[in-house]
Structure 1
Amino acid sequence: MRTAPRTAQLLVVLALFTATAGAVAGCGDESAGSATRPDNARARAVADAWDGSKAAEVWRRGYHPLGESVQLPEGAFRDGDDKRAYLTENLVLRGELPLGGGSEAGQVTWDSGGSLELPLMDAREAYDTLAGGGNDGPRLTVTGAKPGRMKLATSRGTATVPAWLFTIDGYDTPLRRVAVTPSKLPQPPIKPSPAGSDAELRPLDRLAEVADGGRSVTVHAHHGSCDDGPVVGALETDGSVVLSASVAGTRDGICTSDLRAKQVTVKLDRPVGDRILLDAFTGWPVPYGQTKGPSASGS
């Protein structure tokens, strides 16, 4: 269910952690960590609050992507310099971008039926999400853009969504960037876990992938320098999958103040389907691709 992964997202996450929690010593691209299946009281409370709630009804009517917002040109990348330019968002514009949102009126259409109208970002706004670098290293040159469409995995199944198709010098096919933002999340029907109420529970970072027909969920979870890594458990109900993150093997000793991230894969008893993936700690749906502060879904 995942489109072309964007490793730059993780680099930004780790950079933010460095500024707030000391030097980062872990890599979130490691498929490490472990999974358990605890039925803890907090997970049960979150499930009970969401299942059948007005918030769940609103969430299911919205557009919540489970795939990357960018699809690379065919054959990307030609060489290491192009890859580095993309990962560092070092793009340069050598042409004109269209004004306005084009003829595609922000309509998301699901393969299973149904559609939703959403605000459409213009070409400049979409370009700016890709070109935040501005360094002296290798660059990719954008020569133009036009409105189009692309397929994307969402919480309601595969959808066709508006996109901007950017022409990249040296590539025969365009780079596609989704031109709509996710729906705003409803106010959760439960508050975050009270401070000190569960010393073991940790907030999740973000959703990385839903695979294996929806039976495998991979998330980025945090841990420190004096433990054996993150552990994520799943409580499944008819309406939700509540993920509880903690760490294993905590121990005393000289510990640095870094914050490490690892991927943890949780196997489910049945496919996620239209069930809501929830974070037991926050009580919110688990964000997809969260890197630069609150996502549009959580704004």
Structure 2
Amino acid sequence: MRRLAARLGLPLMIVVAGCAPAGTGPTGPLPSDQDQDQDQDPFDRRATAVAEGWRPGPGWSTGYIPLQDPTLLIGEADFTPATQTAFQAGWYRKPADLPARQPDSGTIRFPDGELRVPLVDADEAFRTLTNGVEPPSCPGAKKPEVPPPPAPGGDPDGTVSSRPQGECVALTISKVELGTAPLHTNRGEAQVPAWLFTVEEIGAVVATTAVAPQAVGRVPDPVVPSDSAPEGLVAAQNIIEVDGTRLAFRLGVGSCDSEITPLVQEREDLVVVGGSVVRSTDVCDAMLKLEEVEVTLKEPLGTRPVLDALTGAPLRVGGN
């Protein structure tokens, strides 16, 4: 599976990733009707209950349900602090020559088939790109200038920033065309019709999916197991990356939690993830911290959904 990228601002508090240790749950495909016994560990019991409660309906296997932000970066971008801020905020100048023709229907190509869907025009895609807001009054991007020699008494190393971090930039779109973009969906990574905006200041393409709203399915409501969650179980917040058998995700933990461990139960039709922590007995604030962790699956994720062991909800790539 290709590496997935999403448009999101990384949380301020992220710590070093961990790996799932042996004994954190089954790592091979398991039959959905596996017998339960009292010796099964608490996470396995919880994950099994989540898996057996997953009943997404027929639309999950036949329709289109995006599990990623509709706007994503294609390729590598040459960001500065100012253009990174503008990209995350959706600050773009509207091009005067947006394609005006309403496009014909397009085809979503899933690993397991194709789906013909109606599309939106470039103007509606641009509104999605900008989150429907106008950019602030920015003077526009400027080419970085060669800094002058440092003045006497300046910084010891003589470095000068050519673009202050707080500078306001509205991004310029130099080209707009209809194409496709890779997107994580209910049926794995799909090639989805998208409007491709070439952004001058970052030297990259920003894609916004072109599928009309009436063709987009709804994420099914999760079924939370009736039994209490195991002590120390924490929820998975979102997927960071899927790369072959490597699955990286974020856990929501307390700022004073320790021994943070990713947990996984892998089945033929889905994967359940979560984490365990040791709670502090000292006085601590209630601030949530997002910690990056990863696990290695026995088989590539493919079209299997990834469910959170605490809530039963399917995880999205990038922001929740």
TM-score when normalising by structure 2: 0.69
Assess, with a 3 A threshold, how the Cα gap between structure 1 residues 100 and 202 changes in structure 2: closer, same or farther: farther
Structure 2 CA distance for aligned equivalents of residues 95 and 108 of structure 1: 29
Whole-angstrom CA distance in 2 between matches of 1:73 and 1:62 = 24
Specify the alignment match of 2:116 in structure 1.
117
Q: Which residue of the partner structure matches residue 108 of structure 1?
A: 108
**1:168 maps to 2:199:** yes
What's the offset of the Cα at 1:217? 0.9
Matched length:
265
Which string of whole-angstrom CA distances, capped at 9 and with x for unpartnered residues, describes residues 53-112 of structure 1?
5x2654232335567744546663265543342233222224243446423x142023x4
Consecutive unaligned residues of structure 1, counting only runs of 5 or more, are 15-24, 292-299
Distance 2:94 2:109 in 1: 31
1:250 to 279, 282, 297: 279
* Match status 1:209 vs 2:209: no
In structure 2, how many angstroms separate the alpha carbons of the residues matched to 1:268 and 1:35? 10
Q: 1:171 to 1:83 in 2, by over 3 A?
A: closer
**How far apart are 1:207 and its partner, in Å?**
1.2
Q: Which residue of 2 aligns with 1:278?
A: 307
Distance 2:72 2:305 in 1: 25
Query: Based on CA coordinates, which of the two structures has the bigger radius of gyration?
Result: 2
Match 1:220 to one of 250, 255, 270: 250
1:150 aligned partner: 181
User: Using the alignment, how far apart are the partners of 2:308 and 2:283 within structure 1?
Assistant: 30
Looking at structure 1, the residues matched to 205 and 13 of structure 2 have their Cα atoms a distance apart, in angstroms, of: 34
Residue identity opposite 1:107 in structure 2: T
CA distance in 1, matches of 2:289, 2:99: 42
* Cα deviations by residue, 1:35-69 (Å, 9 ceiling, x for unpaired): 3524521111122233xx5x265423233556774
Instruction: Report deviation, 1:216.
Output: 1.4
Report the counterpart of residue 82 of structure 1 in structure 2.
Answer: 83
Say whether 1:183 aligns with 2:217. Answer: yes
Q: Would the aligned equivalents of 2:260 and 2:278 in 1 still touch at CA under 8 Å?
A: no
Q: CA deviation at 1:234?
A: 0.9
Please name the residue that 1:295 is paired with: none
> Percent identity between the aligned chains?
30
> Which residue type is aligned with residue 87 of structure 1?
Q
Deviates further, 34-43 or 192-201: 192-201
- The separation in 2 between residues aligned to 1:236 and 1:106, in whole angstroms, is 34
| Change over 3 Å in CA distance of 1:183–1:229 after alignment to 2 | farther
What residue is the counterpart of 1:48 in the other structure? 52
User: Compared with structure 1, are the counterparts of its residues 199 and 106 closer, same or farther at alpha carbon in structure 2 (3 Å cutoff)?
Assistant: farther
Aligned to 1:126: 125
Deviations 1:238-287 (A, max 9, x none): 222111333x2321223122111111101122222333321122222222
| 2:98–2:176 CA contact under 8 A, matched in 1 | yes
Q: Equivalent residue for 2:169? A: 138
Residues 1:123 and 1:31: Cα distance change in structure 2 (over 3 Å):
farther
Tell me the distance in 1 between the aligned counterparts of 2:282 and 2:311: 29
Deviation at 1:168?
Answer: 3.0
Secondary structure of 2:255's partner? coil
Partner of 2:63: 62
Task: Name stretches of at least 5 consecutive residues in structure 2 with no aligned partner.
Answer: 26-42, 139-167
CA contact (8 A) 1:167 1:175 kept: yes
Match of 2:13 among 26, 49, 55: 26
**Letter paired with 2:290:** A
